[in-house]
Each structure stands twice: as structure tokens, then as C-alpha cells.
Amino acid sequence: MIEIKDVVKIYENSITALEKVNLKIEKGDFLYVTGESGAGKTTLLKLIHGDELPTSGEILYDAKPVLKQFPLYMWRRKISFAYQDYMLIEDRTVFENVTLPAQIKGESFSKMRSKARAVLDALKLKDKMYERVRNLSGGEKQRITIARALIANPDVLLLDEPTGNLDEDTAETVMRYIEAVNEQGTTVIMATHHFMKTNGRPKRIIKLHRGRIIRKAYV
């Protein structure tokens, strides 16, 4: 499905974020990307999402370069990103933020409201639907970011430290919902410092160190 082929990413300050990364991600995979801060986890997700371009190498989808197949806006309809730094519109409501992908696609208000209620209820946020984002906690904002990524029903879901600001019980609720989405066929790629072992099916794990993959395993 997605292939990372000989990808190198070097920033303008000459820092090498990724070095000769090769990775295949099949449809329906659940992949943990682990490693210390600065290992290249977020950079890898941004390259897959199209936020940044590799210095060399290719990101392939079904064996063809992504951005030669799709305009960026079309690729973003297949793949959703829940950012670690939220990327929310602070003076808008939770509902307005969560439904932004559906608004762009031109979905009806009733359909958006139904989908928003379902995903916010699953993430224990339904009572916050019409609150302004600026009034919410960091953990609530993190879940809103996840909800916004999920509402688009993407083929691929990218998650950057999705449980980092959550207490243990809330993190477990979020992870079980993400696992359920994965079991329905959505490919999940999750960058994290640590993974939560739940009762779901086995997941793949890679470990990055200074931009290189140093370990591949199953958990």
C-alpha cells in the first residue's frame, strides 16, 4: 500500500532527520513508530502526509509516487493526520473544528452533526461539542484533534503521540477506539515514545534512532 523507499530528509540547518529509511506498510496494518525525541518519528509522518518532501527517495502508494498520482488535496482525502500540536482553530467550537474535513467535502449539516456526535461520544467529548476550543484542556484538545482526523473516514490514519497528554483511563479509551477503527480496515501509523499493550490483535513496531530504523518487530 505505502512504501517508503530510500528516503532521506535533511533540513536547511544540515540536520539529517531521516537517513535511508525503507519501510512497507500494508493495508490494514497497525504500525507503532517509536524512538527518542528527535529520532525522526514526526518527520516520517509529515513526509507520508505530504506536509514535507523528502530530500531524496520516494513515498509510494500502490507502487506509484504519491504526488504523481494525486493532487495534494486528493491525497489528504485518503489520509488524515492527528498532530501532536493540535493545529486547531482556538476561537471556533469543537463541532466546527471536528467537522472541518467534512465541511471541505461539502457534506450536509445533518450528516456532519451525526458523525461528530458519534466520534465525540466514543472519545468522551460529546458534552463539549459546542464549547470553544480555547476553553478546553490540553488532553481535551488532543482528543479533538483525533476526532477531526477520524471523521473523514480515512484509508490511512496518522497519529503523533495521541495519548501524550491523557490520563491512563482516557488513553485506554482512545486506544481501544483507534483499534476498533483499525479492525474495520483503516491503516494506522502511530508515532509514540511508548506503546500501550491492549487486547487487540498483534501490531507492528519499528524503532528509529537518529533517523535510521534500528528495529522491526511485532507486539
DSSP secondary structure string for all residues of 191-203 = E-SS----SS---
Largest CA distance in the chain: 49
Q: How many angstroms separate the CA atoms of 95 and 208, rounded?
A: 36
Q: Which CATH architecture has domain 1-78+155-219?
A: 3-Layer(aba) Sandwich (3.40)
pLDDT digits (tens, 9 = 90+) for 119-147: 999 999 999 999 999 999 999 999 999 99
Cβ neighbors of 161 (< 8 A, separation 6 or more) are 84, 191, 192, 193
Q: Where in the chain is the domain with CATH 3.40.50.300?
A: 1-78+155-219
pLDDT at residue number 196: 65
pLDDT at residue number 130: 96
Matching residue, cell 532527520: 17
